[in-house]
Amino acid sequence: GKRAFIAGVADDNGYGWAIAKSLAAAGAEILVGTWVPALNIFESSLRRGKFDESRVLPDGSLMDITKVYPMDAVYDSPEDVPEDVSFLLHLVLEEGKYYFCCILIFSFFQVKTNKRYAGSSNWTVQELVESVKKDFGSIDILVHSLANGPEVSKPLLETSRNGYLAALSASRGSSISLTYIASERIIPGYGGGMSSAKAALESDTRVMAFEAGRKHKVRVNTISAGPLRSRAAKAIGF
Ligand code: ZID
């Protein structure tokens, strides 16, 4: 059978979950990547059987998720995180020795107590790739079903640089991903740079299909999704 990694599953309402089910029904082994801040609640809900009803496959069996990996798609490697620490280092250089001790203690405290990320490790993209390689050797199918547009409800005209870059950083991808027609047509309400992120995703899909196709015989596609009332879509208010 094939082994599939689906990035962007944190509940049973989104495209990632539905795609995982279809692949499981077709006989694939399922691995998922879950955004670190959502990991605990997803894993405990899974354990407590909260998703059992929606795990039922057409043959009556339950979809089995072999492993849930914590991930954050906006960080490539540990050097990229956490940014507040490099900001604090900058303060050290600016303000001199006096603050050095306080800042060291403070930054240690802050990293240790960042509740959303504490308790998980190896969740940057590069580390995740290494973990999957170590656990399973290889995968056959990669699904990118994640997006994060913090300012999606704001028109592009009013979107901040940070909001725009955040949307682009988390919402591009490869292999099989999900896009939206707002990349080429004006859809009022799809703001915050998400229309730009989807245009970049479609362009990257074409280039990646050419490059990865020639180099590794990997097919790269994106599917323009219809409306689904997922957690992400609720933020848009469609
Ligand atoms: P979802 O909330 O189930 O999935 C998004 C996932 O991304 C969540 O699990 C998040 O935890 C995760 N995530 C966010 N940031 C990060 C990060 N930094 N690292 C790792 N994970 C992260 O929502 P979904 O199923 O709607 O989204 C899946 C994909 O489908 C996304 O690429 C969407 O942009 C795309 N999509 C969804 C819809 C829709 O209706 N749900 C549409 C088009 C594309 C759409 O908006 N008419 C009106 C609207 C639409 C289509 C037609």
Question: For residue range 6-19, what is the model confidence (pLDDT) as tens digits?
Answer: 999 999 999 999 99
Task: Answer yes or no: is the C-beta of 180 below 6 A from any ligand 1 atom.
Answer: yes
Residues in the chain with pLDDT values less than 70: 82-116, 172-174, 238
Hey, which residues does 32 pair with through a beta bridge?
A: 6, 68
Residue 86 is predicted with a pLDDT of 44
Residue 237 is predicted with a pLDDT of 80
DSSP state of 124: S
164 labelled catalytic: no
Distance of CA 162 to the CA centre of its chain: 18
Q: Of 129, 202, 228, 234, which is best to mutate to test ligand 1, by the most ligand atoms within 8 angstroms of its C-beta?
A: 228
Nearest residue to 150 via CA among 165, 131, 129: 165
Question: For residue range 56-106, what is the model confidence (pLDDT) as tens digits?
Answer: 999 999 999 999 999 999 999 999 986 564 455 445 445 455 555 555 555
DSSP state of 63: P
Task: Answer yes or no: is the C-beta of 14 below 6 A from any ligand 1 atom.
Answer: yes
User: Can you read off the two tokens belonging to residue 156?
Assistant: 């592009």
- CA-CA distance, 21 to 23, in Å (whole number)? 5
Hey, which residues does 7 pair with through a beta bridge?
A: 33, 144
Task: Answer yes or no: is the C-beta of 148 below 6 A from any ligand 1 atom.
Answer: yes
- CA-CA distance, 88 to 91, in Å (whole number)? 5
Residue 235 is predicted with a pLDDT of 83
What kind of fold does domain 3-76+122-236 have according to CATH?
Rossmann fold (3.40.50)
- CA-CA distance, 118 to 109, in Å (whole number)? 11
Task: Answer yes or no: is the C-beta of 63 below 6 A from any ligand 1 atom.
Answer: no
* 155 alpha carbon – ligand 1 mean position (Å): 18
- Domain ranges for the chain: 3-76+122-236, 83-113
Residue 101 is predicted with a pLDDT of 53
